[in-house]
């Protein structure tokens, strides 16, 4: 520590006004500092002061809260607590007894000791609940954590009163103290704890108690966590010892601090109620006044919880995301849910919330997210069961799932991963770790979505290619003028129908149809009218055709009609109907009405005899016969 600071503290001590133990308490401290001191010697010395002995026995029972036989003697107390803890307890009780009041008018001694006792009880309960330290030692550190303020009020009573009167004292007390006295109350506390022989860790915690972010502890290590818990205990004490209006203003911040140290609302209520009961018990022992308090859950429910009141805006959060995610946050604790939702939204993500697994499934069904952050322990359906149900739906298989747990046991993690979890986060969630895990998840989600986009694009290309091929095939087999199948299609289809007829022993026939005097029509009225004539005949043939018949244009003015399951007599009747249908369709040109006619040559075969080529050749010959017979007729034999 800086030499000038140490010298200044020695000057404080030299004036003889520092808060310090007296009488038997001082003798206990001096005796306990000797290496060869026994528990019997300490017990005999304490018994010389019956009042102090009574307070130590009662304090020991409060600290240990042992089931079964209570501590009934000083010897039991020293044996159970140990010489070191008894030494610190005697010191604390002596200070409370001797400094319940003082000359500093601006300093509220009763509230100071109420806050100190509450801080000690809170630290004791939190450390015991979180299993991160020794509960009775935590109480003593919490009790003495702000003894530096009492020191300034004792040594510089008038000057400190003027400091406390300044408007900035509520928010900037440490800077005002340093300007006035060269030291602030946190540094003085650390120096006094060192002077009283308390552990170095206690001194460092006291030094950074109000600004834990300034400590040199590494985040996540045990000492860092202890500092955070004592900081939280101090804020809990502030809530319990403030006036109602101020109390409800402080509660949102308390809930934020609880989430940072991994204390959920249910646990916070349990700790809060134990602190309130403990405060009532210790107030009798320490002879200090404490405010009457409602049940802790009632206090929490009466406070408005918003990101602004919790101070989340000042919380170091995730960096702005370059790839925004749709996130579903599943958490039943409203403070934790609000904290993480705010942090994620500050990073640019779109966040919806659910309070349990069942609500989460409904939310996924309504709008599937890209990523889910789910607590493990929840009512109705926990996080692992929710994940199992989620993975039953193949459509949700790509959703990236984080599970949040307070346990990192191998068995628990294996259970989570086997349920379909992709990654996990441990409580309390560190915003920096959350940001890093999110970036990792973002990369995976981006790759998945890029792969899906590539797959969809390839599928689109394949569909478009298939459609193009189909269109090309249709163009290759379709006559552009009439829309009928062309010669290539006609030959392929006739071969297919011939093969079917051959296998089944069924009849088949085909017709060659030719427009009469078509060259004369072209020469007289022009090719555009000739095209109209072709389209008219094609439409007439299409309308007269049966469902199973195929009408094709072979080229020029020639058409082919394929008739499956049709013998020669039936084919002849059908041919005549086609011929009459064409003749019945008038065609207007230059104010005149023309009636087109066709000649038809019919050929029928009953497989297995004959062939496709022979049948077409025969139909062509009979077409020429129809032309020779005067046109507008059908020749079938």
Omega prior to 37 cis, within 30 of 0 = no
User: How many residues belong to the chain?
Assistant: 637
Band of residue 341 on the pLDDT scale cut at 50, 70, 90: confident
pLDDT at 246 over 90: no
Give yes or no: residues 153 and 49 share one domain. no
The answer to the question of residue 257 being in a domain is yes
Are the CB atoms for 504 and 568 separated by under 8 Å? no
> How high is the pLDDT of residue 514?
95
Residue 316, pLDDT > 60, answer: no
- Which of 606, 478, 620, 615 lies closest to 550 in space, CA to CA? 478
Q: How far is residue 283's CA from residue 112's CA, in Å, rounded to a whole number?
A: 12
Per-residue confidence (pLDDT) for residue 313, from 0 to 100: 56
CA atoms within 13 A on the CB side of 490: 21
The residue-averaged pLDDT of 316-320 equals: 57
CATH for 495: 3.30.70.270
Q: Structural domain tally of the chain?
A: 4
φ, ψ of residue 81 in degrees (nearest 5): -80, -35
Q: Which long-range CB contacts under 8 A does 181-186 form with residues at least 24 apart?
A: 181/152, 181/156, 182/5, 182/8, 183/5, 183/8, 183/9, 183/148, 184/148, 185/146, 185/148, 185/149, 185/151, 185/152, 186/146, 186/148, 186/210
Residues serving a catalytic function are: 557
Give residue-wise pLDDT tens across range 446-491: 888 888 888 888 888 888 887 877 777 767 788 889 989 999 899 9
Residue 339 pLDDT: 83
Domain match, 146 and 89 both? no
- Please report the sign of the dihedral spanned by the C-alpha atoms of residue 453, residue 455, residue 461, residue 464: negative
Q: d(Cα 476, Cα 481) in Å, to the nearest integer?
A: 13
Q: What is the pLDDT of residue 399?
A: 92
Instruction: Give me the domain span that covers residue 422.
Output: 325-449
Pair 330, 262 in one domain = no
User: In terms of Cα–Cα distance, which of 246, 262, 260 is closest to 309?
Assistant: 246
Half-sphere exposure of 159 (CA within 13 A, CB side): 13
DSSP state of 485: B
Confidence band for 255, pLDDT divided at 50, 70 and 90? confident
pLDDT (tens digit, 9 = 90+) per residue, 188-230?
999 988 888 888 999 999 999 999 988 988 887 889 889 999 9
Per-residue DSSP letter, 314: G
**In Å, how far are 551, 566, 584 from 544, measured between CA atoms?**
10, 16, 12
Which residue stretches of 131-184 are H helix? 135-144, 147-155, 157-165, 169-181
Bridge partner residues of 551 (DSSP)? 561
Asked if residue 126 and residue 74 are part of one domain, the reply reads: no
Overall average pLDDT of the 377-405 stretch: 91
Taking 60 as the threshold, does the pLDDT of residue 309 lie above it?
no
Whether 514 and 369 share a structural domain:
no
Q: Cis (ω within 30 of 0) for the bond into 428? A: yes
Angle, to 10 degrees, between the axis of helix 200-207 and the axis of helix 222-241?
A: 50
Token pair in block for residue 44: 């005999």
Q: Is residue 454 part of a domain?
A: no
**What order do you get walking across the sheet with 508-515 strand by strand?**
550-555, 558-564, 508-515, 598-605, 634-635
What pLDDT band is residue 310 in, cutting at 50, 70 and 90?
low
Query: For residue 268, is it within any domain?
Result: yes
User: Is 313 within the bounds of a domain?
Assistant: no
How far is CA 274 from each of CA 96, 141, 285, 293, rounded to the nearest angstrom? 22, 18, 17, 12
Alpha-carbon distance of 178 to 187, in angstroms, equals 10
CATH number for the domain spanning 118: value is 1.10.3210.10
Say yes or no: 536 and 407 in one domain: no
Same domain, 73 and 110: no
Q: Is residue 491 part of a domain?
A: yes
Per-residue pLDDT at 634: 94
pLDDT at 2 over 70: no
> How much is the pLDDT for 69?
75
Characterise 252 by phi-psi region: left (phi > 0), alpha (psi -120 to 50), beta (else): alpha
Cβ neighbours of 402 (radius 10 Å) = 24
Predicted confidence at residue 426, as pLDDT, reads 85
Most confident of 256-265, 360-369, 405-414, 452-461: 360-369
CATH number of the domain enclosing 439: 3.40.50.2300
pLDDT of residue 244: 86
Confidence of residue 15 (pLDDT cuts 50, 70, 90): low
Task: Round to the nearest angstrom and report the end-to-end CA distance of the chain.
Answer: 126
Residues 6+ apart with CB under 8 A from 189: 144, 145, 146, 147, 148, 151, 206, 207, 209
Same domain, 90 and 208: no
Tell me, yes or no, whether 280 and 399 share the same domain. Answer: no
Same-domain status, 120 and 204: yes
| C-alpha to C-alpha distance for 278 and 263, rounded to whole angstroms | 19
The number of C-alpha atoms within 13 Å of 258 and in the hemisphere containing its C-beta is 27
Q: Residue 184's Cα: distance from chain center in Å?
A: 43
Backbone CA torsion sign across 218, 222, 224, 225: positive
In a domain, 5, yes or no: no
Beta bridge partners of 402: 373, 423
pLDDT above 80: residue 321: no
- Tens digits of per-residue pLDDT, 552-605? 999 899 999 999 999 999 999 999 999 999 998 888 877 788 889 999 999 987
- CA–CA distance, 388 with 527 (Å, rounded to integer): 74
**Among 98, 133, 158, residue at a domain's last position:** 98
In a domain, 464, yes or no: no
Single out the residue in 425, 449, 473 at which a domain terminates.
449
Whether 440 is in a domain gets the answer yes
**pLDDT (mean) for 417-438:** 85
Q: Are residues 85 and 128 in the same domain?
A: no
Is 258 found in the same domain as 111? yes
Q: Of the candidates 98, 115, 150, which is a domain's last residue?
A: 98
Asked whether residue 11 carries a pLDDT value surpassing 80, the answer given is no
**Residue 129 neighbours by CB distance under 10 Å:** 15
Contact 423, 415 (CB under 8 A): no
């Amino acid at each position: 520590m800086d030499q000038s600071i140490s010298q200044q503290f020695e000057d404080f001590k030299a004036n003889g006004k520092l808060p310090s133990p007296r009488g038997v308490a001082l003798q206990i401290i001096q005796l306990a500092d000797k290496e060869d001191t026994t528990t019997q010697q300490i017990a005999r010395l304490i018994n010389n002061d019956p009042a102090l002995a009574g307070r130590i026995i009662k304090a020991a029972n409060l600290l240990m809260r042992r089931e079964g036989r209570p501590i009934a003697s000083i010897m039991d107390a020293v044996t159970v607590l140990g010489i070191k803890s008894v030494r610190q307890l005697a010191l604390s009780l002596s200070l409370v007894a001797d400094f319940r009041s003082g000359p500093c008018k601006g300093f509220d001694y009763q509230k100071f000791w109420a806050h100190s006792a509450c801080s000690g009880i809170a630290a004791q309960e939190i450390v015991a609940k979180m299993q991160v330290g020794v509960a009775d030692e935590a109480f003593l550190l919490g009790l003495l954590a702000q003894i530096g303020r009492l020191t300034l009020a004792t040594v510089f009573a008038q000057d400190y009163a003027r400091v406390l009167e300044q408007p900035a004292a509520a928010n900037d007390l440490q800077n005002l103290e340093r300007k006035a006295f060269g030291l602030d109350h946190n540094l003085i506390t650390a120096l006094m704890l060192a002077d009283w022989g308390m552990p170095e860790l206690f001194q460092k915690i006291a030094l950074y108690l109000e600004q834990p972010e300034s400590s040199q502890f590494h985040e996540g290590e045990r000492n860092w966590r202890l500092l955070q818990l004592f900081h939280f205990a101090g804020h809990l004490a502030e809530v319990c010892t403030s006036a109602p209006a101020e109390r409800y203003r402080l509660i949102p911040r308390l809930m934020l601090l609880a989430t940072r140290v991994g204390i959920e609302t249910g646990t916070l209520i349990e700790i809060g109620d134990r602190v309130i009961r403990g405060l009532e018990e210790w107030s009798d022992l320490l002879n200090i006044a404490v405010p009457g308090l409602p049940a802790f859950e009632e206090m929490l429910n009466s406070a408005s919880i918003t990101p602004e009141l919790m101070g989340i805006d000042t919380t170091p959060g995730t960096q702005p995301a370059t790839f925004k995610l749709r996130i579903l946050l599943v958490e039943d604790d409203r403070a934790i849910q609000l904290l993480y939702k705010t942090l994620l939204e500050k990073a640019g993500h779109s966040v919806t919330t659910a309070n349990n697994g069942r609500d989460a499934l409904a939310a996924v069904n309504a709008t599937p997210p890209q990523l889910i952050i789910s607590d493990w322990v929840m009512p109705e359906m926990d996080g692992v069961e929710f994940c199992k149900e989620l993975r039953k739906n193949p459509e949700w298989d790509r959703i990236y799932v984080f599970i949040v747990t307070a346990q990192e046991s191998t068995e628990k993690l294996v259970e989570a991963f086997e349920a379909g979890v992709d990654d996990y986060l441990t409580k309390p969630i560190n915003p920096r770790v959350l940001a890093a895990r999110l970036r990792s998840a973002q990369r995976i989600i981006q790759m998945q979505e890029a792969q899906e986009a590539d797959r969809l694009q390839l599928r689109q290309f394949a569909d478009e290619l298939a459609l193009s091929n189909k269109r090309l095939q249709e163009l290759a087999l379709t006559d552009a003028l009439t829309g009928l199948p062309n010669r290539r299609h006609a030959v392929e289809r006739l071969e297919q129908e011939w093969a079917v007829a051959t296998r089944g022993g069924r009849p088949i026939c085909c017709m060659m149809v030719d427009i009469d005097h078509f060259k004369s029509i072209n020469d007289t009225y022009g090719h555009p009218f000739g095209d109209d004539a072709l389209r008219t005949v094609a439409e007439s043939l299409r309308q007269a055709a049966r469902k199973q018949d195929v009408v094709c244009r072979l080229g020029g003015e020639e058409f082919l009609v394929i008739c499956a399951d049709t013998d020669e007599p039936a084919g002849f009747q059908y041919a005549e109907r086609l011929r009459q249908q064409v003749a019945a369709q008038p065609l207007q040109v230059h104010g005149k009405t023309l009636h087109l006619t066709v000649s038809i040559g019919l050929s029928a075969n009953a497989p297995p005899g004959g062939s496709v080529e022979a049948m077409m050749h025969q139909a062509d010959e009979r077409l020429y016969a129809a032309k020779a017979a005067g046109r507008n007729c059908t020749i079938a034999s």
